[in-house]
Amino acid sequence: MIKKEVLVEKDRKLAESLQDFGFSFADVNKMLRNKDVKVDGKTEKQNVLVTAGSQIVFYYSPDMLEKKFEKVFESEDVMVGYKFPGIEVEGEKGLEGVLGTIAVHRLDRNTEGLMVFAKNESASGLLSQAFKKSLVHKFYITEVVGEFKTSKKTFRAYLKKDSNESRVKIFQGKVSGAVEILTSIKTLKSNSQSSMLEVELLTGKTHQIRAHLSYLGHPIIGDGKYGKNEINKKFQKNRQKLACFKLKFDFVGINELNGKVFERFPSWYCDNR
C-alpha cells in the first residue's frame, strides 16, 4: 500500500478531494469502507465535508490507478508509462504526486499517451535538457474530421496564447507575441467522414496539434475546445481522439534510454486498424 498526505485547499466533500488524484468514485468508497482514509488523524468512513486546512492521509494500492497510468518501463532513474485521459500530469494531484516522480514534459488532461518521468533531480535535469534540444521525438495518433488530402507534409504556422480564453490562436504569418510552430503530418487512412493521422511535433507548444489541425480545417474528433460540439455529437465522442503513441530517444545521457523507442497504441486506434 502507498501512503499519501495532502492538505485541503478549500471546503469540499472528501470524495471530491480524493478523486482529484485520479481515483474513481467506486475506488474512493472502497478506501472509506476499508478504513484507509484519515482526516486530521481520525479514521473517516463517510463522505463528509472537509474544510480548508484539514489534513487527509490515505492509503491505496497501485492497481487502483491502472485505468489512469500503465507502466511500460522503469529503472532507478526514470519511468516510462502510458497516461490515460482524464488525469492531470503536474502537481500533487496529478501523476507527479501520485507516482512520486518528476514530469519533464506534459500531456493535456484529456490527451492520452506515452510519457517519461524522472525519479530524481539528476535524471530530471538530463531529460529536461534533452527535450529542449529536441533529442526526444514525440509521435501522435489522431482522428480528425473530414478527408485529409495531403499524404505527408510539414506545416508551418504561428501560435499565440490567449490567456483570457485559456486557448491558443494560429496565424499563417508572424504576428506580435506569436511563436513559430512546425507540425509534421502523415495520413494513415482517410475518407469523406474522417481521417487517421500520424503527427510528429517538431516544436512542442501548448495545444499545438489540436489548434493547428483545427486551423487547417480538420479539428480532432471529440475536442470540445478547438472543435465543434455538434460534430462531436455526430461522432458520439466527448473525449478527444489524440494519443502520443511513440517516444524515440536520441543520446540523452541516460544509458537505459539512449537510442530506445517506446510504442503503445490507444485502444480506439487498434479497434480501427
CA–CA distance, 57 with 54 (Å, rounded to integer): 10
Number of structural domains found in the chain: 3
Q: Indicate if the pLDDT at residue 66 is higher than 60.
A: no
Statement to judge: residues 147 and 237 lie in one domain: yes
Statement to judge: residues 20 and 79 lie in one domain: no
C-alpha cell belonging to residue 245: 503513441
Q: Indicate if the pLDDT at residue 23 is higher than 80.
A: no
C-alpha cell belonging to residue 47: 463522505
CA-CA-CA-CA torsion sign (109, 69, 64, 38): negative
Nearest CA to 266 out of 153, 107, 118 is that of 107
CA–CA distance, 155 with 32 (Å, rounded to integer): 51
Statement to judge: residues 17 and 98 lie in one domain: no
Catalytic position from the list 20, 36, 108, 223: 108
Which residues does 235 contact at the CB level (< 8 Å), separation at least 6?
145, 194, 221, 222
Residue with grid cell 475546445, as numbered in its chain: 225
Coil vs helix vs strand at 185: strand
Pairing outcome for strands 194-201 and 37-39: unpaired
Statement to judge: residues 151 and 202 lie in one domain: yes
Domain range spanning residue 32?
2-63
pLDDT of residue 70: 87
CATH number at residue 37: 3.10.290.10
Statement to judge: residues 76 and 59 lie in one domain: no
C-alpha cell belonging to residue 159: 501560435
Q: What is the pLDDT of residues 187-237, one digit of tens each?
A: 999 999 999 999 999 998 999 999 999 999 999 999 989 998 888 888 877
Coil vs helix vs strand at 23: coil
Q: Indicate if the pLDDT at residue 2 is higher than 60.
A: yes
Q: Which residue has the higher pLDDT, 20 or 129?
A: 129
pLDDT of residue 139: 98
Residue with grid cell 506515452, as numbered in its chain: 114
Q: What is the DSSP letter of 92?
A: T
CATH number at residue 192: 3.30.2350.10
Pairing outcome for strands 242-249 and 261-263: antiparallel
Statement to judge: residues 111 and 166 lie in one domain: no
- Is 260 part of a structural domain of the chain? no
Containing 73, the helix (H) or strand (E) segment is: strand 69-74
Our answer to whether residue 27 is catalytic in this structure is no
Nearest CA to 21 out of 74, 77, 91 is that of 91
pTM: 0.77
